[in-house]
Amino acid sequence: MASSAARGPRCRERSRRGRSGRGPAPDGRSRAREGEPRALRELSPLGDPDALGRSDEGVEATKSQNKTVRNQKPKSSPSDPNGPAPAETEAHGEPSRTSENGSVPPPKAPGKRGRKPKAEMLLLKLSQDLECPTPEPICVQKMLGSSEAAEGLETPAAGRPKRRAAKVALLYLQELAEELTSVYQPPAPTEGAQEPEPELEHIQKKRRSRKRKEEETDSDDPARDADFVPSKEVLLQAEEEEGSDAPLSEVSEPELEVLRGHGGKMSSAGRSKPQCRGLAPNGFHNSIMAPVEKCSSLTCSLRDQKYSQWEFPDWIPLAHKWTCLSESEAAPYLPAEEKSPLFSIQREGIEEDGVLYRVNRFNSLQPHEERLDVSFFVGGPVWAMEWCPSPEGSAAPQYVALYCHGSMEETHSVAGLHGGPALLQLWGLGTLQHEQGSADKAELAYAIAADHGCVWDMKFCPSGAWELPTAARKHPQMSRLGLLAVAFSDGKVLLYSLPHPEALQRSKRTQMGPSRSMLSARSVSSTTARSPVGAGTQRASWLVQVQCIATLQVGSIQAGNASECGQCFSLSWMPSKPHHHLAAGFYDGTVAIWNLLTKSLLQCVHQPDGSLKLYPFQCFLAHDHAVRSIEWCKADSNFLVTAGSDRKIKFWDLRRLYEPINSIKRFLSTEVAWLLPYNGVTVAQDNCYASYGLCGIHYIDAGYLGFKAYFVAPRKGTVWSISGSDWLNTVAAGDITGELVAAVLPDLAVNPLNVKRSSDRRFPVYKADLLPCSPTGSEGGEQALPKTRLYSEMVTKSYIRFRDTDLRSFKNFPSREPMRRMHTQEVKAELSLDRLQLESLHKVRFSPNLDSHGWLVSGGQAGIVRAHCLVGLASGMGCQLLPERRARFSSLYGDKPGSPSPAEHSPLPAE
């Protein structure tokens, strides 16, 4: 205790000397070290040693305080370059500065003792690394501005120069930018264009300008910023950023695209910032259309790598496995309703007379001459629908496969297995192009009768299953249209090899006898339809039974019981060649994956009828309840996403299935869509668990980039279906209110947090409203809709009004009536759940084919299926790719009718 008391006065004495900070320092070396960074921080912008000098008063003070330092005389005059330098500047070869008139600034107050700040240490390190005696004058001039060369820095009473940290940061950023820019080589400029600035330096300038803005807003005193004068180049860059109305994430995306190394073919002009300014020819902002151009190029390049021209050569449709049904045999499979409900179509910009249509079963309206939309009645509520893929540039007729319930009031339990009659319909829409539709009506090509219960999902093989309709094949083989996988309510997945309608017509025409006849046109529809492919002959629509190629079932040979997992609700075909894996989600949360080309005796069993029974090679429990949607990653087939009734969305790596990559529990999801270029999925949402104002369509990152969820579009009711177009970077969704809305996504490879005005990216395709009418069929505005769930009562007292948007152009779109109506519905829409939702939409699908990549098909509770063309979203890249792909297709397959498929694609001929 005594020693502590004795040390107390000495410690207090030392602390008082340290706090004073203004007395002479006992050690001269510490004063010299303390003076070195001050001299370095006060570099002259011009770097001229002749114009620099040392204060006599400062030198005398240094000599009196530092006797151990080498004796040096101060410079006799500022113009003497051979004069001795002071100790502080001699260590680093950098002189201090004086003002222009040669006056000596007042002596600096000594700083505090202790550890030097990080800024001083960083500047010391930078100065020691410089080998030349004088710094590069241009760099310092650019960073510190030209005003500091004429006027010296004012030293406040505290003795610390102002804005030293900002100068140090600017110098460091400049050095870092020069090092990185020397490694990165920008692309060569095109002829006649100016040489673009390096992309990375462009990004660094943005960051520096934002940093300066933040520092300038820290204080309201303009005197504190007097020593920092930005250069003209920085001021111009700041004005350029403030004048740009495009969001930061969209404007900077092309620059970051080079660093990410995307495979898209982007020209140097496409990466420049001015391309994101102004409006595109279709009326959208260029920042909205820029990702569309990139996705079109990326989709084309990746499909060349992932898609195949011919797969599954043994699965060829055989004529003797397709049996035509008589009228009595076909009756149980036909939908109950023979006529559609009353409906009218009001198109934006066209004055309609308000005529009400009622279409017969399996019949269609004539396509509109200007808007190209097609409408047809399938007989019942649509719950499964899919486009048939065709090769790029084939200009082939487009087909859509769909399933509808047999009755408008039919319901099915998801808990147990059940069978029953089902009808798969294949509709031909004719030759569709992005800006041109078919002149003929849509027609039912043929229908397949099945006894496995209702259909919850169906998927076509993505590529390699289509061949020319005129391909030379020996009887009983028929040219193949595609391979279709169908998920039934009895827990089985069936694979069908579908023939071209012309090939089926030719083969059955020779086999017709008195006991077996084709289903007459009168029993199917009131009018006959023409052939979907140029024959022009009158014929009947067909209803046939067919033997499937393979039956996919959960279990094993020893215990093959389909009831283990329940019903199958979702399917996903492996998107990359050879497309030999198929994944399915079941009621109990199980995900099963089959190998379609397996030769294993434990996974493949040959049936007496010639078909196959396949068992999965991989099963895992993905959810605690039913798997409502499953989707494969199109860029990498090792990844899979599932959405279940347990309100979870899970991302899986099939190489490590012991736990998901990411699991998100937010709301009840109905369907997911995984677009090609992104690391996340777009999710359709049920509104039962949604928070107020957050129900709708969301983009959710898989967890790799760590982005927050992006709200694509708000919806008031349940979104039953969602579909995405890889060509257009667009998603479309149909909900219970009867509105089909589409949204152009931003570039989700960068953080979507900075995306502004997301409401400008979405637009309605059409809106279906259920309105009351009188029993005679005329409109009755004073009547109210009946509160009933019976279709027979609802159809007699109401009609459906479709209000279509003019999709040819989006100019002045925010002020147009469809946009105002959509925004009003998003805020004030009301749901009437105590009646039959006859206007609701259940399925929406974008065409995956390049020839018809702008076409969108939708169907719902009323059984009316409609096809629309998004002409306004045509991209320059898509229009450029189409002629190239058509020339490539012609060179590969030949343009003469009846030319066979390539030799390497032809399967073994039949005996």
pLDDT tens, position by position, 339-379: 999 999 999 988 877 789 999 999 999 999 888 899 999 99
Question: Torsion over CA of 520, 522, 524 and 526, rounded to 10 degrees?
Answer: 150
Average pLDDT over residues 562-581: 89
Lowest mean pLDDT of 32-36, 39-43, 172-176, 416-420, name the range: 39-43
Q: Cis link prior to 883 (omega < 30° from 0)?
A: no
Bridge partner residues of 767 (DSSP)? 739, 803
Q: Quick one: pLDDT band at residue 495, thresholds 50, 70, 90?
A: very high
Q: Are 661 and 641 in contact (CB under 8 A)?
A: no
Quote helix, strand, coil % in the chain, to nearest 5: 25, 25, 50
Bridge partner residues of 734 (DSSP)? 721, 740
Q: What is the DSSP letter of 837?
A: -
Measured CA to CA, the distance from residue 47 to residue 148 in angstroms comes to: 12
Helices (H), 482-575: 501-509, 521-524
Q: What is the pLDDT of residues 256-308, one digit of tens each?
A: 343 343 433 333 333 334 446 788 888 888 888 888 888 888 998 999 999 99
Q: Quick one: pLDDT band at residue 697, thresholds 50, 70, 90?
A: very high
Measured CA to CA, the distance from residue 293 to residue 300 in angstroms comes to: 11
Q: Reply yes or no on whether the pLDDT at 121 is more than 90.
A: no
Measured CA to CA, the distance from residue 346 to residue 368 in angstroms comes to: 12
**165-174, 229-238, 242-251, 289-298: which is most confident:** 289-298
Length of the chain: 911
Q: What is the DSSP letter of 557?
A: S
Q: Reply yes or no on whether the pLDDT at 383 is more than 90.
A: yes
**pLDDT at site 885:** 86
**pLDDT at site 827:** 79
Average pLDDT of every residue of the chain: 74
DSSP H/E element including 425: strand 422-430
Q: Cis link prior to 514 (omega < 30° from 0)?
A: no
The structure tokens listed for 876 are 């320059």
Q: Are 64 and 28 in contact (CB under 8 A)?
A: no
Measured CA to CA, the distance from residue 154 to residue 106 in angstroms comes to: 10
Q: Quick one: pLDDT band at residue 480, thresholds 50, 70, 90?
A: very high
Q: Reply yes or no on whether the pLDDT at 729 is more than 60.
A: yes
Bridge partner residues of 843 (DSSP)? 859
Q: Reply yes or no on whether the pLDDT at 707 is more than 50.
A: yes
Please state the φ and ψ torsions of residue 723, each to the nearest 5 degrees: -145, 145
Q: What is the DSSP letter of 856?
A: E
- Give first-to-last CA distance, the chain, whole Å: 112
Q: Are 424 and 401 in contact (CB under 8 A)?
A: yes
Q: Reply yes or no on whether the pLDDT at 8 is more than 60.
A: no
The structure tokens listed for 704 are 């790799």
**pLDDT at site 270:** 37
Question: In sequence order, which residues have a C-beta less than 8 Å from that of residue 827 and are 6 or more positions away?
Answer: none
**pLDDT at site 322:** 92
Question: In sequence order, which residues have a C-beta less than 8 Å from that of residue 498 and are 6 or more positions away?
Answer: 317, 388, 401, 426, 480, 481, 482, 483, 484
Q: Reply yes or no on whether the pLDDT at 404 is more than 60.
A: yes
Q: Reply yes or no on whether the pLDDT at 557 is more than 60.
A: yes
Q: Are 808 and 872 in contact (CB under 8 A)?
A: yes
**Count of beta carbons in the 10 Å neighbourhood of residue 140:** 22
Q: Quick one: pLDDT band at residue 387, thresholds 50, 70, 90?
A: very high
The structure tokens listed for 209 are 């300008």
Measured CA to CA, the distance from residue 69 to residue 29 in angstroms comes to: 7
Bridge partner residues of 499 (DSSP)? 480
For 690-747, give the DSSP string. Answer: PPTT--EEEEEE-SSS-PPPEEEEE-SS-EEEEEEETTTTEEEEEETTSEEEEEE---
Question: Torsion over CA of 789, 790, 796 and 797, rounded to 10 degrees?
Answer: -20
Q: Reply yes or no on whether the pLDDT at 736 is more than 70.
A: yes
Q: Quick one: pLDDT band at residue 128, thresholds 50, 70, 90?
A: low
Q: Are 54 and 47 in contact (CB under 8 A)?
A: no
Q: Is 600 exposed, middle or buried (0-12, 13-18, 19+ CB in 10 A)?
A: exposed
- Name the percent of the chain lying above pLDDT 90: 38
Q: Quick one: pLDDT band at residue 510, thresholds 50, 70, 90?
A: low
**pLDDT at site 129:** 58
Question: Torsion over CA of 831, 832, 837 and 842, rounded to 10 degrees?
Answer: 20
